[in-house]
Amino acid sequence: MASEEKKSHNEDENNSSDPQELIREYGQAVVKNKNEQLYILSITGEIEGHEVLSSSTKSTKYEHVLPQLAKIEHDETIDGVLILLNTVGGDVEAGLAIAEMIASLSKPTVSLVLGGSHSIGVPVAVSADYSYVVPTGTMVIHPVRTSGTVLGVKQSFDYMKQIQERIVSFVVSNCSIKKNRMEELMMNTSMLTRDIGTILVGKEIVKEGIIDDVGGIQDAVAKLKEMIKENH
């Protein structure tokens, strides 16, 4: 019986490491050639927090991403990580957890903003060692917002301010934008008709010092390979 259970466990492990299964279930992949092995991590849709989103919503689950990042750090065969982003944002705690994990990896990391990396997707985008945005890629930068019941007391607003400070602090410590400029973009009232914040596109994001450079997948992969070579 024990041998059958062990065999079943080994089969499960083999299935979970299947390349097609990894892409289908988690949107992740491992690519390798004779010189290096890269891990492709995609952050897409809405970053899911402690509450499960509806089945019709595309989401990235932090309970999937965090163990994978821990595995990447431990796996000596992985030389670098490419993070592909196309996210509307999502849960603040989950987004910051992912960003902090990426920032603390010892392996070289490069992020590439494709369609967009909005809201809490901004800290995730800047958490890599080097970041790119495609020419049409966008970012929406806005203040923290919440849903559900909110007590109309000072403590509630102090708590939201504290959360916002955590986000701003992480962003400015991982890119070139200054704190006062980041807060100006967040509190902009002249751009969005029904909201507060700023929409930035491609070169504008680089000009503000949030993302390092404008480029595509070729640039991102080339930069990652260059960093891996320097790291060795």
pTM attached to this predicted model: 0.85
**Any idea which architecture 33-140+199-231 has in CATH?**
Alpha-Beta Complex (3.90)
What is the pLDDT, as a whole number, of residue 127? 98
Question: According to DSSP H, which parts of the chain are helical?
Answer: 2-16, 19-26, 62-74, 92-103, 121-126, 154-174, 179-186, 203-207, 217-231
Name the residues annotated as catalytic. Answer: 119, 142
Give the three-class secondary structure for 27. coil
Q: Residues 52-71: pLDDT tens digits?
A: 777 777 888 888 899 999 99
For the chain, what's the residue count?
A: 232
Structure tokens at 46: 């809405």
Q: What is the pLDDT of residue 33?
A: 86
Phi, psi of 109, rounded to the nearest 5 degrees: -130, 140
DSSP one-letter code for 80: E
For residues 185 and 141, the answer to whether their CB atoms sit within 8 Å is: yes
Band of residue 51 on the pLDDT scale cut at 50, 70, 90:
confident
Q: Is 185 exposed, middle or buried (0-12, 13-18, 19+ CB in 10 A)?
A: buried
Interatomic CA distance for residues 45 and 27, integer angstroms: 11
- Domain boundary assignment for the chain: 33-140+199-231
CA separation for the pair 136, 14 (Å, rounded): 39
Q: Could you read off the pLDDT of 148-206 as tens digits, one per residue?
A: 677 778 888 888 888 899 999 999 999 999 999 999 999 999 988 888 999 999 999 99
- Provide the pLDDT for residue 7: 45
Alpha carbons 194 and 186: distance in angstroms, whole number: 14
Spatial distance between the Cα atoms of 213 and 205, rounded to a whole number of angstroms:
9
Q: Cα(75)–Cα(232) distance, rounded to whole angstroms?
A: 16
Question: What's the distance, Cα to Cα, between the start and end of the chain in Å?
Answer: 46
Q: Phi first, then psi: what are they for 116, rounded to 5°?
A: -175, 165
Residue 229 bridge partners (DSSP): none
Q: Which band of pLDDT confidence, cut at 50, 70 and 90, is reported for residue 89?
A: confident
